[in-house]
Structure 1
Amino acid sequence: MKLAFYAPMKPPDHPTPSGDRRMGRLLWKALEHAGFDLELVSTFRSLETSGDVQAQIKNEREGRLEADRLIELWRATPFKIPAGWFTYHVYHKSPDWIGPYVCEALNIPYFIAEASHAPKQANGPWKLGYDAAAKAISQAACVFHMTTLDGACLKPLIADTDRLVFLPPFLDTKTFLDAAEETVNTEDLVVTAGGQRGKKNMLAVAMMRSGDKFVSYEQFRSILPRLKTEDWQLLIVGDGDRRDDIEKLLSPFAGRVVYLGQQPAAVLPAFYRFADVYVWPAHGEAYGMAFLEAQICGLPIVAGKIRGVPDVVKDRQTGLLTPEGDFDAFAETVDFLLASFSVREEMSQAAQRFVQSERGIEKAAETLKHYIGQVLA
């Protein structure tokens, strides 16, 4: 059964990597796994991050023209009309100006995955996008929310709560693990990058860019001096345009923070398995795919208890979550895990079971197939 697929924030074929692009690709794969035939019907990006009203009006106009193009095309070739429309990631900065209009014109059901609704934006600089996103969410036959927090915020827009479905973030565990390079000498790579052997290793995997990611790196500057563990070492996998700034920021810990740069996906499992604890403050984090990667490799987590993080890390089972901005608690928790081999082992096994059974692509495909199938039937 054919579904139109659209991602207004960033299309799945966009050249720049990001968590948003990755989840879009995973959703595409999960939908195919569920038996749907997908067509990427538009690469138009509606993302507007500056609050420029004129830019938003321009986006609306261009989105409507794109919608008119698709309506005209499909009315001329009715056999090509999809059974439904699936949009990934709708919120006030990136509304869907195309899907709801097309679905209404052609009388086909509209589905959304990862929608967000923030009432505080109702009269802000993104009011146009806020209203459009709210209308799209209200119109959807089914809204798949990816965090518990998003689900609670979406309820006021959806009269029939059966249309609101929890689809937690997921990982294609088999593909991720099967692609792992087994001959990587991780310790040698760490030493080559300036690290030392025989240390207790914390690991963070994150892009070095402005915004929330940079704030998390800033928070390390407050966390690291609070550690009581003497032989710690922080390994950072990632790169980006703020790398120089981050290295300057963490320069007081020269020799103890090891910058490994961007690593191929096939090499990441080796780093996850080498480290003792995965650490990330998670400032503003929607959920964080690296948490799932770390856990499927058996690496316990220490992170901030923020937004969607509790949906990808089982607190006190696969890791330990600390209050947002509490750097003393974060450091104490890291110290505790680094000193507790038996706890780390228990969490390691629990983490692998959790991701494999509850956060795999197979589980996501089942959910999508069931709820979309119900509507299409």
Structure 2
Amino acid sequence: MNIAYYMPFKPLGHPNPSGDLVAGTELYNYLTKAGHNCQLASRLRCRWIYLRPFAFMRLLAEQKRVSQSLSTAPVDLWLSYHSYYKAPDLLGPYCAKKLGIPYVIFQGIYSTKRRRKLKTLPGFYLNRRTLSAADLIFTNKKRDHRNLLRLLPPDRVSYIAPGLHTRDFTFSNEARSRLRSQYELADKVVVMSAAMFRPGVKTDGLTTVIRSCAKLVKEGADIQLLIAGDGNSRAQLKKTGKQLLGKNITFLGKIPRNELYQYYSAADIFAFPGVEESLGMVYLEAQSCGLPVVAYEDWGGGEVIRNSETGLLSSVSEPDLFTQNLKHLVADQELRRALGSNAASHARTHHELDQNYDFLCKRLEDIRTR
């Protein structure tokens, strides 16, 4: 197939990493490797575009440019990665209609609470219009699947389990020995966490992990907390970490994604609450490397972690249980090993990206030939 591919939130190659950028890039790479010709339709960013008049003017020009360009190099369908209130796809529906081709979205999000605030109200209605124009919407979140069915009929909404290349996230005994020696971890129970050091829920989540580990250290647990990531909250998190954990915390800095498996391998537990985390690819990465996970069940953790099978989940309404779950795993080596083994199997059975995207390709073929 010839596919016009577009990412309205962050274009391919954007310098600021995020889970959405990773997922959108992996989808593009998979389709390309599968033999499809993916043409990058535009690099226009729609993030808060309705609050930026000059960007809106550029949109009008881009609609004309892209539709004219693709009319001379025909495509079979338009595929946009991600459309939601903050970055509604305002290019794809126009161009697809102009070209007379199917319009498909991967990861469309319909959240009615966004109409309650004046700032997000325009984005809600623009995004609802975009979603309503789609011939098919894929989603890898069960909550989003339920919400989309409030707007669209079942034949226009399709759930695909989130996935990753598990071969890139496999336990390495060599990396475990090397890094545990490098960081002088000896026989400590190593808890790992990873997130962007961004103000808000990311920083709050990492702070929760720091406080939980500090409480367990005070109770006598021999823990070392490793945190991977970087960002604007670096100084704040380091200050909190050193105050509460002293030498029992190590900030690893920003680790390239293709090297993260080594640090997961060196750890014994992965912990991150995941407040408002839509999915949390780190949960899949850690499980794929054989780590049991401690998280909240209310958001992304509940999507990909099986409670008491691949990790331990608790509700955000009972924050003390997060610490208790972490304590349970720190104290029980056999439980850690059992849940970690289950986690690796779970990732390979249910979240192998190639397997899940094979289904996506079949649906795209079906809609192309309608």
Same fold (TM over 0.5): yes
Looking at both structures, which has the greater relative contact order when contacts are Cα pairs under 8 Å and sequence separation is at least 6?
Answer: 1
SS of residue matched to 1:32: helix
- From 293, 296, 302, the equivalent of 1:301 is 293
Corresponding residue for residue 198 of structure 2: 209
SS of residue matched to 2:149: helix
User: Number of matched residues?
Assistant: 365
Q: Aligned partners of 1:310 and 1:12: how far apart in 2? A: 28
Q: Say whether the 8 Å CA contact 2:138–2:160 is kept in structure 1.
A: yes
Q: Aligned partners of 1:290 and 1:66: how far apart in 2? A: 35
Q: Aligned partners of 1:43 and 1:179: how far apart in 2? A: 38
- AA paired with 2:195? A
* Alpha carbons of structure 1 residues 181 and 111: separation in structure 2 relative to 1, 3 Å: farther
Corresponding residue for residue 150 of structure 2: 156
Corresponding residue for residue 239 of structure 1: 230
Corresponding residue for residue 230 of structure 1: 221
SS of residue matched to 2:129: helix
Per-residue deviation at 1:187?
1.3
Task: After the TM superposition, list the runs of 4 or more consecutive aligned residues in structure 1 that deviate by more than 6 angstroms.
Answer: 178-181
Q: Aligned partners of 1:225 and 1:308: how far apart in 2? A: 25
Corresponding residue for residue 132 of structure 2: 138
Corresponding residue for residue 83 of structure 1: 76
Q: Say whether the 8 Å CA contact 1:180–1:266 is kept in structure 2.
A: no
Q: Say whether the 8 Å CA contact 1:208–1:242 is kept in structure 2.
A: yes
**Cα offsets for 1:190-249 (capped at 9, x unmatched):** 23xxxx432111111222122321111232354234434521221111122211111112
List gaps (5 residues or longer) in structure 1.
Answer: none
- From 234, 254, 261, the equivalent of 1:269 is 261
Let me know the Cα RMSD of the aligned residues: 2.2
Please report the TM-score for the alignment, with normalisation by the length of structure 2. 0.92
Corresponding residue for residue 2 of structure 1: 2
Per-residue deviation at 1:104?
1.0
Per-residue deviation at 1:53?
5.3
Corresponding residue for residue 252 of structure 2: 260
SS of residue matched to 1:157: coil
Corresponding residue for residue 64 of structure 1: 60
Q: Aligned partners of 2:311 and 2:81: how far apart in 1? A: 29
* Alpha carbons of structure 1 residues 181 and 41: separation in structure 2 relative to 1, 3 Å: farther
Q: Aligned partners of 1:215 and 1:190: how far apart in 2? A: 26
Corresponding residue for residue 270 of structure 2: 278
- AA paired with 1:207? M
SS of residue matched to 2:4: strand
Q: Say whether the 8 Å CA contact 2:297–2:314 is kept in structure 1.
A: yes
* Alpha carbons of structure 1 residues 33 and 229: separation in structure 2 relative to 1, 3 Å: farther
Identity %, equivalent residues? 28
1:41 maps onto 2:41 in alignment = yes
- From 313, 337, 350, the equivalent of 2:342 is 350
- AA paired with 2:226? L
* Alpha carbons of structure 1 residues 293 and 130: separation in structure 2 relative to 1, 3 Å: same
Q: Say whether the 8 Å CA contact 1:64–1:97 is kept in structure 2.
A: no
Per-residue deviation at 1:325?
4.8
Q: Aligned partners of 1:333 and 1:307: how far apart in 2? A: 17
Per-residue deviation at 1:143?
0.6
Per-residue deviation at 1:270?
2.1
Q: Aligned partners of 1:229 and 1:370: how far apart in 2? A: 54
292-301 vs 64-73, which deviates more?
64-73
* Alpha carbons of structure 1 residues 226 and 131: separation in structure 2 relative to 1, 3 Å: same
Per-residue deviation at 1:26?
1.1
Per-residue deviation at 1:32?
2.7
Q: Aligned partners of 1:53 and 1:94: how far apart in 2? A: 9
Per-residue deviation at 1:144?
0.8
Q: Aligned partners of 2:352 and 2:75: how far apart in 1? A: 27
List gaps (5 residues or longer) in structure 2.
Answer: none
Corresponding residue for residue 22 of structure 1: 22
5 Å matches for 1:112-123? 112-122=105-115
